[in-house]
Amino acid sequence: MLLRLAWAALTRHRARTLLAMLGVAVSAAMLLDMVMLSSGMRESFKNLLLSRGFQLRVAPKGTLPFDTDATIPGASALVARIRSDGDVTAVSPVLGGQLHVVLAARTVTAAAIGVEPAVQGDYEITHGREPAGPNEMVASADFLAASRLALGDTLSAAAGYDPQLRSLTGRRTLRIVGVAHFIYMPAGQRAVALPLATLQSMEGASAGDRVSLMMIRARSGANVDSVLARLQRALPSVSVISTASAMRQVDDRLSYFRQLALILGAVSLVVGFLLVTTLVTVSVNERLGEIVIMRAIGVARTRVVAQIVLEGVAIMLVGTVAGLGLGLITARYLNSILASFPGLPAAIDFFLFQPRDAWIALGMLAVAGVLAAVYPSWRGASLPIALTLREEAIG
């Protein structure tokens, strides 16, 4: 009976009910997007750091990996010391740099990393194989497209440029043996990877026995915090960073996004609340005569309130479900815009759908709709029956 009466009341003014549901859907979509924004980039960055199983990073003292141009000297000794720890299963040293590829009438520049192919965690081979010799390299599809080279081609490359002599330095002939997807690189980045010793040799005295960072994988079941503490004591000249400590630093840098998401999310929640409150209040005022007649013939006040609240719940639930779909569509569009910011890894998502957070946010909106309908419905059901009937008759 309650459902039938609520349905009749909602369909009495179809256009108004539809507009209210659309308004709630917009509020729900905005709230969902703000929840996704507040946690999405953080979780996406965390998943990126752990995607290859490396839980610790070693960076130059006081910096984050690749946050500056600083490097770690004496890398070979440090790598050997880290590998001697019984809880460490892999150490991947990485040197960052540039590679200038000399073509017939032009030069193509790419971001270059020097790695140990057997333990690297920076890219995934999509075609071909890992470098097996000092003069072999893998490249991204964007680099191959820009240079018009292909798998199996050889090229003349240099690791530096001397501005005084206006000439390239550290030249070497390399062969492309693999096409790779670079996990930490921005979308569209021209990137190549070659053996660490090769890139160090090409960079000459400026590189020497240096690396930009080291990635560490602990054995399964090991206490990562204990490994971190031991390495910090043994290696005071560098910064040893766990995923948790990296996330704390990332949180500091992302505080603006969280504050923005909190403000806009709160606005969307208030808008949904006010929208339902306004609609229910107008509906109750239009139906005062109907409500007091129901009360006069013995219908309980709580039953009247329940019917009107049910109308508000129906509007909110339908609008919330529609807002879920709308929010996912808009999040995907906005993510494509934000992901184009220069320097961001292609794997980073600003808007990451997490069912638990999303349903909590939309549940809050649904509860707000219920609360929005309680006051006007209780007020309408509590008016004096005789006086209200007289005023309705006179009106």
pLDDT in tens, 184-212: 888 788 999 999 999 988 887 566 789 99
| Overall average pLDDT of the 3-28 stretch | 74
**pLDDT at residue 336 greater than cutoff 60:** yes
**pLDDT tens track for 83-115:** 998 899 999 999 988 888 888 778 888 999 999
Q: What is the tens place of the pLDDT at every residue in 367-389? A: 877 777 777 777 766 767 666 66
Helix (H, G, I), strand (E, B) or coil at 92: strand
CA–CA separation, 202 vs 199, rounded Å? 5
27-31: average pLDDT:
83
What residues contact 102, with CB distance under 8 A and at least 6 apart? 155, 156, 157, 158, 168, 171
**What confidence score (pLDDT) does residue 385 get?**
63
Q: Is the pLDDT score of 35 beyond 60?
A: yes
Spell out the SS3 assignment of 26-51: HHHHHHHHHHHHHHHHHHHHHHHHHC
- Look at residue 202 in the predicted model and tell me its pLDDT: 87
Computed from CA positions of residues 352, 113, 180, 124, in that sequence, does the dihedral angle turn out positive or negative?
A: negative
List, in order, residues 6 or more apart from 28 with CB less than 8 Å away. Answer: 268, 272, 319, 320, 322, 323, 324, 326, 327, 362, 365
**pLDDT at res. 112:** 92
State yes or no: pLDDT of 164 exceeds 60: yes
If you average pLDDT over residues 354-375, what whole number do you get?
Answer: 77
Yes or no: say if 153 and 104 are a contact pair by the CB < 8 Å rule.
no
pLDDT one-digit tens code per residue, 244-292: 777 777 777 677 777 877 787 888 888 878 877 887 787 777 777 677 7
pLDDT at res. 332 = 85
Burial of 369 (0-12, 13-18, 19+ CB in 10 A): buried
What is the pTM for the complete model shown? 0.69
**Does residue 392 surpass a pLDDT of 70?**
no
> With 70 as the cut, is the pLDDT of residue 301 above it?
yes
**pLDDT-derived band at 342, boundaries 50, 70, 90:** low
